[in-house]
Amino acid sequence: MRVLIALGGNAMTSPEGHARPEDQITAITQAMEPVADLIASGVDVVLTHGNGPQVGNLLVKNELAASVVPPVTLDWCGAQTQGTIGFVTVNALQRALHGRGIDRQAAAVVTRARVDADDPGLANPTKPIGRYLPRDEAQVLIEHGQVWEDRGERGWRRMVASPEPREILDAPAVSALIRAGFVVVANGGGGIPVVRDPDGTVRGVEAVIDKDLGAALLARMLDVDTLVIATDVDGAVLDYGTPRERALGLVDVPTMRKHAAEGHFAGGSMGPKVEACCRFVENGGRRAVITSLGRIADAVSDDVGTTVVPAA
Ligand code: ADP
Ligand code: MG
């Protein structure tokens, strides 16, 4: 049994959303406890993770230090956060495994996700990232070629491209490590977005990939049985935030697609999780689960949270 777990923001920041180094280490250390339990039960686990708050922090450093140190592009931010989050995760996981008397190695892979050079998402920035700024400060960055949008009361926010992941280029490296017995952390932040040039070379692009969509693709490429999207709610609900709210348990893909088309899942949060689950199952995956971090051990065997399965 092989499972890919996608860890959300709550596995990497404090309950209040703080992302100081100690907050991240504490949250990841806690998150690795249920992950280690799962590994102890004999399940083959692969991990991936988000990186929103961490990239947000890097962007602030870029902006504040721009006159001293050249700012780096978003693909570099992706690579850097894969590195630091991977490092902290591997440390925490090995510690949790050691505490259970399990002698397994863990490794983090800097992972590239190929996107299409002509993806409409590259030309049309739709994803808000980083901090809010007042108009005059945003204007300076707009003059440097960035796209910023007036987001109303809270101020202006940078908008970046969010293309579709097409292929996880380093999936073969992840597979080789799994075969060698490693617990692998890979494709953080959805993967570092790259395009392939006509001569076959690969280069990074200024974009971010949705973590959940990247997870669905990696899960298929690694032929995992179950995709688990671990987040800060027990599952997806219909009529979210209204008095009619009701939890979704076991759902088949066509039904889930219908709920999504009716607009039940917010874009940028639950929407991509539901889309990721549907894609994984439509492309041959057995089941995909959206649930809270604390319940991931059960998610592998029982229908906890929201479980998406193929049509009967
Ligand atoms: P993560 O960091 O784990 O990716 P997100 O914040 O992106 O988490 O997504 C989880 C959030 O999605 C929940 O905390 C909830 O506020 C929001 N959400 C939006 N629509 C729904 C829905 N229909 N059902 C449940 N949660 C929803
Ligand atoms: Mg998210």
pLDDT (tens digit per residue) in 183-199: 999 999 999 999 999 99
Report the pLDDT averaged over residues 45-59.
Answer: 95
Distance from Cα 233 to the centre of ligand 1, integer Å? 7
Distance from Cα 244 to the centre of ligand 2, integer Å? 24
Q: Hey, what amino acid is at 100? A: R
Mind listing the domains of the chain with CATH numbers?
A: 2-124+161-306 (3.40.1160.10)
Report the pLDDT averaged over residues 134-139.
Answer: 93
| pLDDT of res. 111 | 98
**Of 186, 8, 222, 3, which Cα lies nearest the Cα of 90?**
186
Give the model's confidence band at 17: pLDDT under 50 very low, under 70 low, under 90 confident, else very high: confident
Ligand 1 interacting residues, C-beta cut-off 6 A: 8-10, 50, 231-233, 236-237, 240, 264-266, 269-270
| pLDDT of res. 32 | 97
Nearest CA to ligand 1 atom 11: 269
Rounded to an integer, what distance in angstroms lies between the CA atom of residue 7 and that of residue 28? 9
Nearest CA to ligand 1 atom 5: 269
Judge whether residue 67 has pLDDT over 90: no
State if pTM tops 0.85.
Answer: yes
| pLDDT of res. 147 | 93
Give the model's confidence band at 268: pLDDT under 50 very low, under 70 low, under 90 confident, else very high: confident
Rounded to an integer, what distance in angstroms lies between the CA atom of residue 101 and that of residue 274? 36
Judge whether residue 70 has pLDDT over 90: no
| pLDDT of res. 300 | 87
Give the CA count within 13 Å in the CB-facing half-sphere of 179.
8
Give the model's confidence band at 247: pLDDT under 50 very low, under 70 low, under 90 confident, else very high: very high
Catalytic residue flag (residue 258): no
Rounded to an integer, what distance in angstroms lies between the CA atom of residue 280 and that of residue 285? 5
**Choice from 28, 248, 262, 270 to test ligand 1 binding pocket (greatest atom count within 8 A of CB):** 270
Q: Which residues pair with 150 in a beta bridge?
A: 156
Catalytic residue flag (residue 249): no
Distance from Cα 154 to the centre of ligand 1, integer Å? 21
Rounded to an integer, what distance in angstroms lies between the CA atom of residue 238 and that of residue 262? 10
Report the pLDDT averaged over residues 202-223.
Answer: 97
Report the pLDDT averaged over residues 278-283.
Answer: 98
Distance from Cα 242 to the centre of ligand 1, integer Å? 14
| pLDDT of res. 97 | 98
Q: What is the mean pLDDT of the chain?
A: 95
Q: Which ligand is nearest to the CA of 208?
A: 2
How many Cβ atoms are within 10 Å of 196's Cβ, its own excluded?
16
Distance from Cα 21 to the centre of ligand 1, integer Å? 24
Cα end-to-end distance, the chain, whole Å: 22
Report the pLDDT averaged over residues 73-97.
Answer: 98
| pLDDT of res. 301 | 82
Catalytic residue flag (residue 9): yes
| pLDDT of res. 85 | 98
Judge whether residue 18 has pLDDT over 90: no
Q: Which of 51, 52, 86, 211 is catalytic?
A: 211
Instruction: Please give the share of the chain, as a percent, with pLDDT higher than 70.
Output: 100
